Amino acid sequence: MQTRKLGPFDVTAMGFGCMNLSHAYGPPQPRDVAEKVLRMALEIGITHFDTAALYGFGANEKLVGEVLKSRPSNVVIVSKCGLFGRDGKRVIDGRPEAIREICEQSLKNLQTDCIDLYYLHRWDQRVPIEESVGALAELKRAGKIRAIGLSEVGAATLRRAHAVHPIAAVQSEYSLWTRNPEIAVLEESGRLGVTFVAFSPLGRGFLAGGMSGPDALADGDIRRTMPRFQSPNFEANARLVAPLDAIAAEAGCSRPQLALAWVLARASHVVVIPGTTRAEHLVENCGADAIRLSSATLAKLAALLPPGKVAGERYPPATQVENDTENYVS
């Protein structure tokens, strides 16, 4: 597979997001299922695995640490702090002491003495970004992490953070139906030499097709709380993206491959981290790595899904305000 830069590392442009093996989209996967998918990702050749302290409140890090502890030396494992579970509750805490505490837990969970890339999962806006990044820089000087990343921040915050310590990567949701990184942070990350990591490049599964309706989502699935997945937005969005089937067929690929190839075509400093719980979907997703979309196909996609076209916000209001990303005005 093609490789791209992830800060100081050379990784496959197609990474693997580990979250939904343990978190967010319904019950955690059985251990044998989760392990099979992770090991297949290794066998296929993926060298970039993304987890976080939040996912399963440490369970996902433990899974990744146990399964990938004997990984090849070129495999990069990244995790995140600043958003995690405390006393059974989801907490945002970017204070230096909290960052140090969670890092120690992550090191233990991942069964390592150094994390390759460590993100601030959310900017705790009660704490200046300079203080949180300063704490991450201390962890790097101490040899506990190799590189620093940020998640869900806008261009101005990225610049402030980068002035304190070079930022290796910035991570945000980016896909055919989530275009807000194009307002500023995608371009700014390229200007600064920061890798842009696109999470949920398949629109949290929506762009892959096959979702019958919001009621089909499992109890506890966080998408049930997201306006885009609620009626009548769900139905409107399903009609909006229905032409993707025909566009994919014309391009000689599947819908998921079309969506992933589109993200990879946006800029050379972009990598993607789709997640899945099914081995066959993992293989299908990786097939997008070899697809090069024609200018005609790109033009059709631009006409179908221009920025701001999708119905509904990414997150419910209480979660939306936690993010520092730029947003299109409805």
pLDDT reported for residue 330: 44
At residue 242, the pLDDT reads: 97
What pLDDT score was predicted for residue 52? 98
- Which residues, at least 6 apart from 303, have a Cβ–Cβ distance to it below 8 Å? none
Give me the pLDDT at residue 329, please: 62
The position carrying tokens 């990591």 is 197
- 101-113 in b/e burial notation, b at 16+ Cβ within 10 A? ebbeebbebbebe
Catalytic center residues:
55
Per-residue model confidence as pLDDT tens for the chain (330 residues): 999 999 999 999 999 999 999 999 989 999 999 999 999 999 999 999 999 999 999 999 999 999 999 999 999 999 999 999 999 999 999 999 999 999 999 999 999 999 999 999 999 999 999 999 999 999 999 999 999 999 999 999 999 999 999 999 999 999 999 999 999 999 999 999 999 999 999 999 999 999 999 999 999 999 999 999 999 999 999 999 999 999 999 999 999 999 999 999 999 999 999 999 999 999 999 999 999 999 999 999 999 999 999 999 999 999 999 999 998 864
At residue 326, the pLDDT reads: 93
Reference 226, options 315, 311, 312; nearest CA is 315
Specify the pLDDT at position 166.
98
pLDDT digits (tens, 9 = 90+) for 51-86: 999 999 999 999 999 999 999 999 999 999 999 999
SS (H, E, C) the chain: CCEEEECCEEEECECEECHHHCCCCCCCCCHHHHHHHHHHHHHHCCCEEECCCCHHHHHHHHHHHHHCCCCCCCCEEEEEECEEEECCEEEECCCHHHHHHHHHHHHHHHCCCCECEEEECCCCCCCCHHHHHHHHHHHHHCCCECCEEEECCCHHHHHHHHHHCCCCEEEEECECCECHHHHCHHHHHHHHCCEEEEECCCCCCHHHCCCCCHHHCCCCCHHHHCHHHCCCHHHHHHHHHCCHHHHHHHHCCCHHHHHHHHHHCCCCCEEECCCCCCHHHHHHHHHHHHCCCCHHHHHHHHHHCCCCCCCCCCCCHHHHCCCCCCCCCC
What's the whole-model pTM score? 0.97
